[in-house]
């Protein structure tokens, strides 16, 4: 992530709540696979999460899932509703007896009332996410720490007129109409990632499309998504993205590993940009450039930030931090 002051953002802790690197403990439970289903609406979004959890080591600790600001609606273990879960502080605690389970939760969140701009929030009529460092817990209950890596499959459903574009991490799988003027899209990211790299965007956006052919001959579909009025201001950013992909291959031999790479620019993004896997989200100032008003510095800044976030695909996403200390 790049914030607008070029500094790195970390969770804040006061002296009384200071956390030491030496306090680190491995996670008690791992989550190899995560299935998310979103019924999207600015006022009330329902999120159904199915976590494939495995016990990490020989212990009898319950599953503890971080959460903040959501209303729990249901908890199921291996397809059966359970009532022995509890809330401790901001954690959902579920006793589990076996070594592996499918844990499903349903929650409701209100993106339009999310003034923190962390998790899923409304921006200019669109819905988008910001999850670094601990924003994913505001979307659904999850072990929201960078050493729990999971493969994500995501289904988005929303009103087709209000949110005609549905984007998430990874590659698109399928899409189609749904009853009552709604539509849906499925996305899949086959590479394990920490929850802070999760992203989705739903809204009325235009796209400047391009392609990049990798060193092995694969064609990657590129997209810069913005408001329709801003589409002519995205050409420099698209060119910078292609240059960045070519440079990473030429210098480090790092070929992009998905079939799609998307960038979305929004005005209300609270950092400069974020390197979510395959779906970077930017503050508009680091994407849009008009030759009549932009300076050389503006063009250089856009190229630098586009490159910075793209390079995270390997040095920062594939090789990532163990903890936030």
Per-residue pLDDT tens digits for 288-315: 999 999 999 999 999 999 999 999 999 9
Establish if 7 belongs to a structural domain: no
Final residue in a domain of this structure, among 186, 203, 220 = 203
In the block, which residue shows the tokens 């969770």? 11
Final residue in a domain of this structure, among 154, 177, 203 = 203
Domain count, the chain: 2
Residues 93 and 156 in one domain: yes
- Residue 16 confidence (pLDDT): 61
Lowest mean pLDDT among 15-29, 42-56, 232-246, 266-280: 15-29
Domain of residue 275, CATH code: 3.30.2010.30
Tell me what the pLDDT averaged over the chain comes to.
Answer: 94
How are beta strands 260-266 and 219-226 bridged, if at all? parallel
Distance between CA atoms of 193 and 198, rounded to whole angstroms?
8
Final residue in a domain of this structure, among 203, 230, 251 = 203
Residues 52 and 176 in one domain: yes
Domain of residue 166: give its range: 28-203
Asked if pLDDT for residue 10 goes beyond 70, the answer is: no
Distance between CA atoms of 102 and 76, rounded to whole angstroms?
8
| Cβ–Cβ under 8 Å, residues 169 and 195 | no
Q: Percentage of the chain surpassing pLDDT 70?
A: 96
* Higher pLDDT pick, 53 / 318: 53
- Residue 5 confidence (pLDDT): 43
Per-residue pLDDT, averaged over 14-29, amounts to 83
* Higher pLDDT pick, 323 / 222: 222
Active site residues: 309
How are beta strands 182-193 and 150-159 bridged, if at all? antiparallel
Distance between CA atoms of 113 and 199, rounded to whole angstroms?
19
Sign of CA dihedral 150, 110, 158, 203: negative
Residues 73 and 182 in one domain: yes
Distance between CA atoms of 178 and 159, rounded to whole angstroms?
9
Residue-by-residue DSSP string for 211-225: EEE-TTSPEEEEEEE
Asked if pLDDT for residue 227 goes beyond 80, the answer is: yes
Distance of CA 23 to the CA centre of its chain: 27
């Amino acid at each position: 992530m790049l914030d607008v002051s070029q500094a790195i953002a970390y969770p804040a802790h006061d002296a009384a709540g200071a956390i030491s690197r030496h306090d680190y403990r491995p996670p008690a439970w791992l989550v190899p696979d995560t299935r998310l289903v979103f019924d999207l609406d600015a006022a009330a979004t329902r999120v159904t999460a199915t976590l494939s959890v495995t016990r990490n080591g020989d212990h009898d600790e319950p599953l503890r899932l971080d959460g903040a600001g959501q209303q729990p609606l249901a908890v199921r273990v291996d397809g059966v509703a359970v009532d022995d879960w509890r809330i401790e502080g901001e954690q959902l605690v579920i006793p589990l007896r076996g070594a592996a389970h499918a844990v499903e939760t349903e929650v409701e969140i209100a993106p339009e009332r999310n003034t923190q701009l962390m998790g899923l929030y409304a921006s200019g009529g669109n819905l988008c996410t910001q999850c670094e460092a601990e924003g994913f817990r505001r979307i659904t209950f999850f072990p929201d720490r960078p050493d729990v890596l999971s493969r994500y499959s995501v289904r988005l459903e929303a009103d087709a007129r209000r949110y005609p574009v549905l984007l998430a991490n990874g590659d698109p799988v399928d899409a189609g109409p749904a009853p009552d003027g709604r539509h849906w899209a499925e996305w899949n990211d086959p590479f394990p990632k920490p929850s802070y790299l999760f992203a989705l965007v739903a809204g009325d956006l235009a796209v400047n499309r391009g392609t990049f052919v990798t060193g092995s001959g694969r064609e990657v579909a590129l997209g810069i998504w913005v408001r329709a009025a801003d589409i002519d201001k995205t050409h420099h950013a698209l060119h910078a993205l292609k240059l960045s992909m070519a440079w990473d291959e030429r210098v480090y031999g790092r070929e992009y590993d998905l079939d799609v790479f998307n960038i979305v620019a929004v005005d209300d993004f609270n950092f400069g940009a974020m390197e979510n896997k395959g779906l970077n989200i930017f503050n508009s100032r680091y994407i849009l450039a008009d030759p009549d008003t932009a300076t050389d510095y503006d063009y250089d800044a856009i190229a630098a930030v586009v490159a910075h976030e793209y390079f995270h695909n390997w040095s920062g996403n594939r090789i990532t931090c163990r903890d936030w200390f």
